[in-house]
């Protein structure tokens, strides 16, 4: 009689129970592991120099990703509840339902646990994600090297001097390969950074021109001062938010901002910003949530330009919607000395772990951080599988750096692949290139509003174009002259950006001073503030929040101001041009709230 060792014991006749136990032990714990086989190997990445062996005192936090066999089912659910033409539109999955769909098979959990046990790592040493699809352990570098049959080194990024501890290859026993998708940090050489362009000036005695009633291509009437200084009032005028529209604080709406790299959001600066631009919000503030020990130092000298920009505009636009600032600890560069024995430069995955464990994450979240798509490698190591799990919220990511490699100066972009081939390619940003987030490009000026030069745009080299983009992006590609940028981009890839918003000359308070800030890291919180207003419209109408936006956005292009001027140079080219309809500079365009309000309420 054959007995499947996965069959529950209560389903097996008692006389076979002892035999079943023996089979389980034999199959689960081989008497001797075969020789390790390479699980992953890469060429030494371009732009990084091997400096030294990893210090023996170093502690590394390994994240082990287990297979998610039902992930395609989760993806199917995500698209159904996000498709405005599907009968399930808006019927978002619960956290428990999502976790059930990303949970690994028990045999994978057992195989990994048993392997860890052979290295002296017990259950009390393990942190598991809510769905048990991620295992996190902290181990000495010497043990990690033994477990993975590898050698770690300290690598230094040539341009910035940032240092990380990584390897270019690791191995696992053959029987574990089907049970482990990825282990990091190993081969991921990402430089997590902000998508801010430059601080242009310090404006100590600002004066704003009088309102004269000019109009723009959005049909709104705009104060001409918005050509030189972007304020909350400018964004509301430019994107057609009625002057008498105020969202509710009592319908369960929420908005969030992520903070990394010791970027602190200063509450006093927020009060100064509100006094200057949103007087009715003076005295209000945001919720602060620490992730992995993240701080929010309120010393004025430590106020972060990025953090202040994000909270002031996202929360200012959406006031009085419930607002949260998340600060996640950890930052590069890692300095391998006795004072910093633990490498903590993986804050992005730490935040994802945290937010996926929450019952009610904010309904719209903006992050202004990321990296070149090729830095996290071909599969950004589980991040892509984590992002669709945020089915209750919409995630905004800026898209910066033109068509180049994220360098704000097109003249210094290298645009070479880091796969050992050193090919010249347009290099999009990640996670903007992930099909499960909304990528936001940048614009400037008001008459007319045009695509700004640093607006990141192009096509993913790793992620296929999602079906929701086929019509709009296909039209853009068919209009490109034959041979345009041939070989420099992947025409079948996920296209970015999806939308755009102003990205220049934002009036921000930092350390008690007024500064002017540029970058798509300004565009992302601005667009997120508009999304929070749209969620208010739906919630007050008794409808569910928008959730994952992209499938909806591409069905309502009439809700956007089409931007037809501008380009995003890089890699020795002029980049793509803004044009009628979707384009790889400004996406569908900038939001027209008055039109979108009617469109989203009908869905």
Any known ligand binding at 583? yes
- Alpha-carbon distances of 294 from 61, 200, 356, 402, 567, rounded to whole Å: 17, 29, 17, 31, 38
What would the pLDDT profile of 239-290 be if each residue is shown by its tens digit? 999 999 999 999 999 999 999 888 999 999 999 999 999 999 999 999 999 9
Domain ranges for the chain, please list them.
34-68+103-188, 194-602
- Is 463 strand, coil or helix? strand
pLDDT at 22 > cutoff 50: no
Look up residue 282 and give its two tokens.
Answer: 């003076």
How many residues does this entry show for the chain? 603
Q: Which residues pair with 63 in a beta bridge?
A: 136, 184
Any known ligand binding at 581? yes
Lowest-confidence segment of 106-120, 430-444, 524-538 by average pLDDT: 430-444
Confidence of residue 104 (pLDDT cuts 50, 70, 90): very high
Q: Determine contact, residues 532/255, Cβ cutoff 8 Å.
A: yes
- Is 443 strand, coil or helix? strand
- Phi-psi sector, 68: left (phi>0), alpha (psi -120 to 50), beta: beta
Look up residue 326 and give its two tokens.
Answer: 């998340």
* pLDDT given at position 566: 97
Q: Look at the block and give the residue holding tokens 């890839």.
A: 493
Q: Determine contact, residues 212/224, Cβ cutoff 8 Å.
A: yes
Burial class (CB in 10 A: 0-12, 13-18, 19+), 81: buried
Look up residue 60 and give its two tokens.
Answer: 């590394």
Q: Which residues are catalytic?
A: 306, 310, 521
* pLDDT given at position 164: 86
- Residue 222, phi then psi, degrees to nearest 5: -125, 135
Mean pLDDT score across all residues of the chain: 84
- Alpha-carbon distances of 280 from 106, 114, 239, 266, 412, rounded to whole Å: 54, 59, 20, 19, 45
CATH of range 194-602; options 3.40.462.10, 3.40.630.30, 3.40.50.200, 3.40.50.2300: 3.40.50.200
What would the pLDDT profile of 312-334 be if each residue is shown by its tens digit? 999 999 999 999 999 998 765 45
What would the pLDDT profile of 470-514 be if each residue is shown by its tens digit? 999 999 999 999 989 999 999 999 999 999 999 999 999 999 999
Q: Model pTM?
A: 0.86
pLDDT at 109 > cutoff 50: yes
Mean pLDDT of 209-219: 44
pLDDT at 349 > cutoff 90: no
What would the pLDDT profile of 546-568 be if each residue is shown by its tens digit? 999 999 999 999 999 999 999 99
* pLDDT given at position 603: 58
What number of other Cβ atoms are within 10 A of residue 358's Cβ?
14
């Amino acid at each position: 009689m054959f007995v499947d060792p996965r069959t529950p014991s209560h389903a097996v006749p008692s006389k076979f129970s002892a035999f079943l136990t023996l089979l389980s032990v034999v199959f689960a714990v081989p008497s001797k592991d075969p020789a390790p086989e390479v699980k992953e190997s890469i060429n030494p990445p371009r732009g990084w120099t091997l400096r030294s062996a990893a210090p023996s005192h170093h502690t590394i936090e390994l994240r082990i990703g287990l297979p998610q066999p039902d992930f395609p089912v989760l993806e199917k659910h995500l698209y159904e509840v996000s498709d405005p033409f599907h009968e399930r539109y808006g019927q978002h999955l619960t956290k428990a339902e999502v976790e059930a769909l990303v949970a690994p098979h028990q045999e994978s959990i057992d195989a990994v646990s048993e392997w860890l046990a052979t290295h002296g790592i017990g259950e009390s040493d393990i942190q598991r994600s809510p769905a048990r699809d991620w295992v996190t352990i902290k181990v000495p570098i010497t043990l990690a090297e033994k477990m993975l049959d590898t050698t770690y080194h300290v690598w230094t990024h040539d341009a910035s001097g940032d240092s990380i501890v990584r390897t270019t290859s690791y191995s696992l026993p053959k029987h574990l390969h089907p049970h482990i998708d990825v282990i990091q940090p190993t081969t991921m050489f990402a430089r997590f950074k902000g998508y801010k362009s430059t601080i242009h000036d310090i404006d100590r005695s600002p004066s704003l021109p009088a309102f004269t009633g000019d109009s723009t291509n959005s049909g709104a009437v705009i104060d001409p001062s918005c050509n030189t200084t972007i304020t909350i009032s400018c964004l509301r005028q430019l994107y057609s938010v009625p002057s008498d529209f105020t969202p509710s604080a009592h319908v369960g709406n929420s908005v969030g901002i992520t903070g990394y790299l010791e970027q602190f959001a200063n509450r006093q600066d927020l009060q100064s910003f509100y006094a200057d631009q949103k007087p009715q919000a003076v005295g209000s503030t945001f919720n602060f949530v620490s992730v992995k020990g993240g701080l929010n130092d309120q010393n004025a000298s430590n106020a972060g330009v990025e953090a202040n920009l994000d909270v002031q505009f996202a929360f200012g636009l959406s006031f009085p919607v419930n607002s949260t600032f998340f600060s996640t600890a950890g930052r590069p560069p890692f300095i391998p000395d006795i004072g910093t024995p633990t490498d903590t430069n993986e804050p992005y995955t730490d935040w994802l772990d945290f937010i996926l464990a929450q019952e009610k994450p904010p309904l719209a979240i903006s992050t202004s951080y990321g990296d070149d798509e090729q830095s996290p490698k071909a599969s950004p190591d589980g991040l892509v599988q984590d992002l669709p799990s945020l089915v209750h919220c919409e995630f905004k990511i800026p898209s910066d750096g033109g068509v180049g490699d994220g360098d704000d100066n097109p003249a210094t972009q290298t645009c070479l692949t880091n796969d050992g081939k050193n090919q010249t390619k347009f290099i999009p940003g990640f996670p903007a290139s992930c099909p499960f987030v909304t990528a936001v490009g940048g614009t400037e000026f008001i008459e007319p509003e045009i695509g700004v030069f640093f607006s990141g745009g192009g096509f993913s080299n790793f992620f296929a174009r999602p079906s929701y983009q086929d019509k709009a992006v296909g039209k853009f590609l068919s209009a490109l002259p034959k041979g345009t940028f041939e070989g420099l981009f992947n025409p079948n890839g996920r296209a970015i950006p999806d939308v755009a918003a102003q990205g220049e000359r934002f009036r921000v308070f930092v350390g008690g001073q007024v500064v002017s800030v540029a970058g798509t890291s300004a565009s992302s919180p601005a667009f997120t503030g508009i999304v929070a207003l749209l969620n208010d419209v739906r919630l007050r109408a008794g409808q569910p929040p928008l959730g994952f936006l992209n499938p909806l956005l591409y069905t309502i292009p009439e809700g956007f101001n089409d931007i037809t001027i501008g380009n995003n140079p890089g890699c020795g080219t002029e980049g793509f041009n803004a044009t009628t309809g979707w384009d790889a500079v400004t996406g569908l365009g900038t939001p027209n709230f008055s039109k979108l309000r009617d469109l989203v309420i009908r869905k």
